[in-house]
Structure 1
Amino acid sequence: MAKTTAPPSRPSRPRAQRRPVDVRGWLGGIRLSGFMVIMLGLVVLAAFVLVPTIGTYVDQRQQIAALEAAVELSGEQVAELESQRERWSDPAYITTQARERLYYVRPGEVVYLVDNDLPPELAPQEQSPVSEDVEQTRTDWMSQLVRSVTVAGLSQTVKAPTIGVPDQEPTPSTTP
């Protein structure tokens, strides 16, 4: 059986070379009526009038939203301050605050203040006493200072200090 192909849907035209478009002829073919010019002018005028008005409207809405949020926040602060004022009018609250903040006591009461209430692992460790003997340094401190600053300025990488882990030096491998 022989294969048949369908005829092309559009007859093929020989490709013509593109010729330049005559803009004058194209523009000359457009006909504008007076009504169309007036309507186009009204649309442009409406755009010029409405765009700034819409921008102003959007800006004012944003300002209103920001002010409403500020008023709501102020209302919450006023409510909190009023509740504090109500608490301070209560004599029991005033007495409690005087005892906690100012360490006031009633006559005849004994108050114990716990000074060192940290757990033992968080308590600062005892430091060794400082020697009272004056010792002379073995090297010149100025040259060590200059060397330290130079090394710090020229170093390329910084090694993060490890806390609680001793520095491990690599063990040299022996080759037979």
Structure 2
Amino acid sequence: MARRQRTQRVPVALPSMETAPESWLRNIRMSGFTFMMLGLVILAVIVLAPSLRLVIEQQQQLAELRAAVDDKEESVSDLEDDVARWSDPAYIESQARSRVNYVFPGDLTYLVDDDRGVEAATADGAPISTEIQTTQVDWMQTVVSSIFTAGLTDATATTLESPVVPTP
């Protein structure tokens, strides 16, 4: 029998038209276990996302409440300082002297009025009288007139004027 001559096999490289991402994607092998794990990860994200949002909201509320507690504690400490001050007899004495002008028996107190001669005046510049005066206005008529004017007019509030008061 004649022997066959063996030929040697030589690998031949074909020109590749694929880009790098295409060849990378072609080499990815997905098994059933990979799909199952990917599905579990997606399911875990779907299940845990609302709970995570709730935890974040509760953390924000907790931070706000802690800030409010700190503010209240600061105000409590200020009030405790005030109470401590009021327990001091010297502080009570100084407050009584300054606020209500209390003095001890035998103390000499001076009360200085502003006597620079400046007289108080009204908005139109007339001096304020020290005598009791009677008004020349019938207030009942003014009230009734105001009610009828407000209820029966078609004018706007900006166009309405107060009635002229006669001067004596």
TM, length-normalised to structure 2 = 0.51
Task: Please tell me the root mean square deviation across aligned C-alpha atoms, in Å.
Answer: 4.2
- The match for 2:56 is 58
Distance 2:151 2:81 in 1: 59
Deviations 1:63-91 (A, max 9, x none): 22112202221231132123213322322
Deviation at 1:47, TM superposition (A): 1.6
CA distance in 2, matches of 1:46, 1:74: 41
2:81 corresponding residue in structure 1: 83
Give unpaired runs (5+ residues) of structure 1. Answer: 1-31, 162-176
Q: 1:129 aligns with which of 120, 128, 133?
A: 133
One-letter amino acid of the structure 2 residue matched with residue 53 of structure 1: S
Cα pair distance change 1:131/1:55, threshold 3 Å: closer
Give me the whole-angstrom Cα distance separating, in 1, the residues matched to 2:146 and 2:89: 67
Q: Which amino acid aligns with 2:134?
A: V
Percent identity of equivalent pairs: 40
Query: Alpha-carbon deviation of 1:42?
Result: 1.0
Q: Which runs of 5+ in 2 are unaligned?
A: 1-29, 162-168
Secondary structure, counterpart of 1:106 in structure 2: coil
* CA–CA distance in structure 2, aligned partners of residues 145 and 84 of structure 1: 52
Output aligned runs, 1:7-156, within 5 Å: 34-35=32-33, 37-111=35-109, 120-121=119-120, 125-126=128-129, 129-130=133-134, 146=148, 149-151=151-153, 154-156=154-156
Cα shift readout 1:29-68 (whole Å, capped 9, x = no counterpart):
xxx9634542342133112222122112212211221122
Q: Which amino acid aligns with 2:32?
A: G
CA distance in 2, matches of 1:49, 1:85: 55
Amino acid at match of 2:95: Q
Task: Give secondary structure in 1 for the equivalent of 2:40.
Answer: helix
Match of 1:174 in 2: none
Greater relative contact order structure (CA < 8 Å, 6+ sep): 2
Deviation digits for residues 100-131 of structure 1, max 9, x if unmatched? 334422102355667889x6346782388326
Letter in 2 for 1:101: R
Query: Highest Rg: 1 or 2?
Result: 2
